[in-house]
Structure 1
């Protein structure tokens, strides 16, 4: 059985992204650049669908519950000529939880808890921030979500979720993606056991 195609978009930029602060579950809104990136991703997706002679309303649409993802989805759907409403919200697509380190930059994390910072530096996949979540745990919740997908789907979520998704789909290993930069304003397509980036 052929697996559904997944079009994945990371939310647009927020003020905390621009400052290098780790957001996790903090509900930080898009900034103006982020709103432009969301619309740009919608334009890219519209072009991809036209190229492949696909109709936007034939897809499933799902977003992380955090507002930065939902606003991105709203703007993306507008670019596709779809109403802002009409998509599902999926808790399993939420960003990795950074626990006590949410709102901190990397240098601030190191000062906050040097021992935990060093432990995580040695094992970015299996060690969590204090009271946070591991990438391994995020990967497992992404696997359960993927197992339930039955139709080609457009998903809007987060950078950490994307790293876990790449491992969950088998297109990369943890050591390859732990520090991977996941871009905003682009579209990632998971199809036929591979991933492609557009934009």
Structure 2
């Protein structure tokens, strides 16, 4: 069972190092370019087999625009895909919109607590999540995938996949870099995860 995962293209908040979470921040010009390039990369990788794939995205605007640009670059109808709320990014609660240096000045004890146990840390605020909580959503989505799939999601979702399928440790998974200009190829049956 093959899954190709793409992180949404860059936003201004990504460029500024702001915790974006579930805020609906649009792609910037670089992010739009990244989305198109990832579509070209997938078209080259999949060729005529693309018709066998399901297309699914997080319902946030930045992932939907990424998916639509990706599909257009593949020569497909940009609007023919579905969304799944289980693929929404990790909620950073009250921290969304802030950078870690900004939070360090305001609440250094909480930033230190996060650094000590990032996988299990829940930021302050209603509906905030830890990576552990997020991985429950991602795990449920992964078990529901029943055909080859191309998925556009978020950095936290990809980190959870590395933990759940790749077998990475909690520390390795939550600290890994998730590029916005690459495609992640996952063989769920083999437990193999790697970047194209």
**TM-score > 0.5, shorter chain as reference:** yes
CA distance in 1, matches of 2:36, 2:42: 10
Unaligned 5+ runs, structure 1: none
CA deviations on 1:162-181 (whole Å, 9 max, x unpaired) are 10121122442212122111
Instruction: State how far apart, in whole Å, the 2-side matches of 1:49 and 1:173 are.
Output: 31
- For the residue of structure 1 that corresponds to 2:6, the secondary structure is strand
1:86 to partner: Cα distance: 1.4
**CA contact under 8 A between 1:16 and 1:28: conserved in structure 2?**
yes
* Separation (CA, whole Å) in 1 of partners of 2:60 and 2:167: 26
Number of paired residues?
A: 192
- Per the normalisation by structure 1, the TM-score is 0.93
Give the secondary structure class of the aligned counterpart of 1:55. helix
Match in the other structure for 2:35? 38
Q: Which runs of 5+ in 2 are unaligned?
A: none
2:92 — aligned with what? 98
Report the Cα offset of residue 116 of structure 1.
1.5
Indicate whether 1:141 and 2:128 are aligned.
no
Q: Secondary structure at the match of 1:84?
A: coil
Q: Which of 3, 6, 10 matches 2:3? A: 6
How far apart, in 1, do the equivalents of 2:5 and 2:105 lie?
34
Separation in structure 1 between the aligned mates of residue 72 and residue 192 of structure 2, nearest angstrom: 28
Question: What is the Cα-based RMSD across aligned positions, in Å?
Answer: 1.0
SS in 2 for 1:178: helix
- Structure 2 length-normalised TM: 0.95
**Which one of 33, 44, 47 corresponds to residue 47 of structure 1?**
44
Contact 1:140 1:168 in 2 (8 A): no
CA distance in 1, matches of 2:110, 2:15: 25
Q: Where does residue 173 of structure 1 map in the other structure?
A: 169
Shift of 1:111: 2.1
